[in-house]
């Protein structure tokens, strides 16, 4: 991974609007073939950071460097579409750019919704809709795929299938993927690197190291109630092939933050050795 091309790099990025810093001090690198997930509570600056990374928003301070000729496939959180007009999936694919029938068919097939080409977008299930949006982003054959809340409106079983699909897109195409979520489930499913935001970077690292860091707990864990179950994951070591046990470093960095964020799941993870448990409990 370390030798892969850097697709986009943010250094000391801040975005100020109306005298308020939406995000500040953001450092982020995303490489080809890497999946980076931005997590954080509502309003913590995830979308702002992603939009700045792909050039939709100009930073007020700091530097954004994108590799020359970078092709971006972006699935925003909300689409500016007139939902009162009937719209087929096929037409959705060509709303903003022209594509041949073969390209459309290939893109829909790659996300498993070939059969929905003529379906009305308004009638799709949450999961089908997200797949159609993915196809629309993939048809551009992006180097970088940016997915803002890709499992919204999708049930738990559908979520797992979508994460698998996202990972397989990365494996198949080699693109880099920037995922945005306030749902920690995404983080454990398909991510190489997690960046935990709350206006600034609270902590970053592998899902395991972030989930075990104190700053992450401050953001997501301690304020949880039984009804809004909390996230628990305690990997403090790894197991080598020879059975050796190695302590994991604490990857937390940057300033701590305290906020009222709670999370809506409990995970317990049981690995091959039976000393961890993961189980999704409850779905908000």
Ligand X SMILES: Nc1ncnc2c1ncn2[C@@H]1O[C@H](COP(=O)(O)OP(=O)(O)OP(=O)(O)O)[C@@H](O)[C@H]1O
Binding residues for ligand X, per CB under 6 A?
A: 17-18, 22, 40, 42-48, 77, 182
3-state secondary structure of 93: helix
8 Å CB contact between 267 and 232? yes
User: Given the complex with ligand X, which of 46 and 136 has the nearer CB atom?
Assistant: 46
User: Given the complex with ligand X, which of 18 and 82 has the nearer CB atom?
Assistant: 18
CB of 244 to ligand X, least distance (A): 40
8 Å CB contact between 187 and 195? no
CB of 20 to ligand X, least distance (A): 7
CB of 17 to ligand X, least distance (A): 4
Separation between Cα atoms, residue 197 and residue 201, nearest integer Å: 5
Separation between Cα atoms, residue 157 and residue 116, nearest integer Å: 20
Separation between Cα atoms, residue 89 and residue 119, nearest integer Å: 6
CB of 95 to ligand X, least distance (A): 23
Burial 2-25 (b: 16+ CB within 10 A, else e): eeeeebbbbeebbbeeeeeebbbb
User: Given the complex with ligand X, which of 40 and 142 has the nearer CB atom?
Assistant: 40
CB of 52 to ligand X, least distance (A): 9
User: Given the complex with ligand X, which of 35 and 107 has the nearer CB atom?
Assistant: 35
Which residue has tokens 């810093």? 21
3-state secondary structure of 176: strand
User: Given the complex with ligand X, which of 104 and 177 has the nearer CB atom?
Assistant: 177
């Amino acid at each position: 991974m370390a030798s892969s091309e850097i697709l986009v790099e943010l250094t000391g990025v801040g975005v100020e609007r109306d005298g308020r810093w939406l995000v500040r001090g953001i450092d982020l690198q995303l490489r080809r073939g890497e999946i980076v997930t931005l997590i954080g509570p509502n309003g913590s600056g995830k979308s702002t950071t992603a939009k700045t990374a792909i050039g939709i928003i100009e930073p007020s301070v700091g530097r954004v460097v994108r590799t020359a000729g970078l092709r971006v496939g972006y699935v925003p959180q909300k689409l500016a579409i007139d939902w009162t007009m009937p719209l087929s999936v096929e037409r959705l694919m060509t709303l903003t750019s022209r594509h041949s029938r073969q390209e459309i068919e290939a893109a829909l097939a790659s996300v498993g919704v070939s059969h929905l080409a003529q379906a009305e977008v308004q009638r799709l299930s949450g999961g089908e809709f997200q797949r159609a949006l993915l196809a629309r982003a993939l048809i551009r054959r992006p180097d970088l795929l940016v997915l803002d809340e890709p499992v919204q409106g999708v049930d738990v079983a559908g979520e797992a299938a979508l994460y698998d699909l996202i990972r397989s897109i990365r494996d198949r195409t080699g693109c880099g993927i920037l995922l945005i979520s306030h749902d920690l489930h995404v983080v454990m499913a398909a991510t190489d690197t997690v960046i935990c935001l709350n206006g600034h970077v609270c902590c970053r690292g592998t899902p395991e190291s972030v989930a075990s860091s104190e700053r992450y707990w401050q953001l997501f864990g301690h304020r949880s109630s039984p009804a809004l179950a909390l996230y628990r994951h305690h990997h403090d070591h790894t197991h080598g092939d020879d059975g050796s046990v190695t302590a994991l470093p604490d990857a937390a960095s940057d300033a701590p933050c305290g906020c009222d964020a709670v999370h809506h799941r409990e995970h317990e993870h049981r690995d091959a050795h039976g000393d961890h448990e993961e189980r999704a409990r409850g779905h908000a």
